[in-house]
Structure 1
Amino acid sequence: MKWMHFVLVIGALSLTACDHSTPHAAAPVAKSPAHVTSAPKKATAFAPPSESDIPNDDFGKQVALGRQIFIDPGQYAKAYVGNSLSCENCHLDAGRLAHSAPLWGAYPMYPAYRSKNHHVNTFAERLQGCFQYSMNGKAPPADDPVLVALETYAYWMSKGEPIGTSLPGRGYPKLPKPAIAPDYARGEAVFKRDCALCHGDNGQGQRAAGRTVFPPLWGPQSFNWGAGMEQVNNAAGFIKANMPLGRGDTLTDQDAWDVAYFMDAHERPQDPRFKGSIAETRKAYHDTPESLYGTTVNGQQLGQGTAGK
């Protein structure tokens, strides 16, 4: 993997000392045994083809373009992006890594009914939602070259998989409920210990050479309130499996829940489905204990949105 690509992968939406380390950053301090849990054994995941296997033909050109868009949508899909994130901030290693919602785990599962919008979604529609919510932008038309290239990349990566079968490593792990309810103060302590090195003390990430190498976790350049990562259980599963970058499964489950709560208890861009009031929007789209939208944390009601969007 090329160094620059490694840096981008590092930019993954990790919540801990991150999935990413920059060339100039100090190496994360090893955790004491009290902070470490043994990694559970996982079933062997599907092995997607490598970048070097992309065919050298017109089809391969679309695969390669899809990969470029996935890694750097700000450059290759600029018209549809509204923040500084990239697709692989939440789907590591260019959408290849198991337990970080890999593309090969999603593509064979569509069309599928989604409770989020209460109808059967095509894979293209699923991608449109990523642009609208995670990228805080707007959905490309279904026949747009951006979606065609992304679908081609996902299809190529999934070749040889059974259709409609949920394989090991698909999505994010489902963590059991924590022994103690997630807590902001404990989460803040985990963030300072394991995440701030990459994501900054203020959670706004880091940029180098005009590009985001460590993603912002909240604020105007992060995902909006409609994204799946705003749900604490989703964030906790991602963090547990993948954070800090390269050292997944080293946080305790409780730490993962706490720091996910801390991250999601910060303001971010408004849900594009906003109904005119926070209460109505929560009732329509966030009426679950996993969402902090519309709740009050540290005396502040969440869901106000951030400047700009």
Structure 2
Amino acid sequence: MWLGRISMWDVEGARRAMPHYFSILGGEEEPNFVLARKVPVDFRGNEPLEELRELHREGMDRLRENDLVEKPGKSLLDLKALIADRTLESCTLCEIKCRVNRKDSTGYCRVKESLIASDFLHYGEEPELVPSYTVFFSGCNFRCIFCQNWDISQHRVGVEHVPEFMALKIEEAFGQGAKNVNFVGGEPTPNLPFILEALRHVKAPIPVVWNSNMYMSEEAMELLDGVVDVYLADFKWGNDRCARKYSKVSLYWEVVTRNLLLAREHYRAEFLIRHLVMPDHLDCCTRPVLEWISRSLGRDIRVNVMFQYRPEYRAEMYPEISRRLKGEEMEKAAEIVNELGFRNALVG
């Protein structure tokens, strides 16, 4: 059986794949956002957006050079929050680039102000993450017809918090034993300005997990650099045809692979990549996704090949995915993982 060949929880494998994350947990390193808060950047706030982006690039150079000071007047994290907020005026945070002024109107993602549908200590994530303080935002830039969180991803629901209160909730969760703050949804990308503003006020040394479909714009990726400690990336589709049919997005493969390669170069960022195995999608999606990860990111990366698919939301409209996985599909997925030689994989 496949469970005998690939460990469901290998602590050493997780440590090999995510040493920075474990160093933060051990108190040996600080989370990236804490360091970004120590990078001095001089700006007024009313500069043109492109000028602010140039100052941001200079600030990222200082971060990589470890040019840090305690409590600067204005920091790289402050600048990131400002740029994200200014971007809302013609929103290009995700690759949809609807350019709606989200300070006045709801974007394609169904997000105007950030609404938190739920937040709690989550014990159902990967073992190295739990307990994870998981913040579920409503709204999403995808329209997945099988979405298990459709009640929050496809609707505007939840509570609006001021960023300072969100920071206090993160600190409280850290005090209760949370190993990380895990921003998810829906999708966190439309909520990037709120998240960055909240992190400006967080005093706890808690790692940031970005739990995302990875369909961000390059502009958003620049802002995430130096903030995210772990990209918990949901790599769904192995081709654009399936992405258009089931998630209603274009250029999926180009955008997601681009962003994973960009994230690979981000300051001290690490990966935990999820792939949900879909019925009848082993050859068109599972194999090309895992082959790309192995070839482009390496066999030591932490990858979770998941068998938890169940037909939800509108999946009954698509007979080919209106069922759970068969045993032979699970076996085949595990064989692909073995064949590609992943050394730090979770399967099941």
What is the TM-score with the length of structure 2 in the denominator? 0.26
Higher Cα Rg, which structure: 2
TM-score, structure 1 as length reference: 0.28
Instruction: Tell me: higher relative CO, structure 1 or 2? Use CA pairs within 8 A at least 6 residues apart.
Output: 1
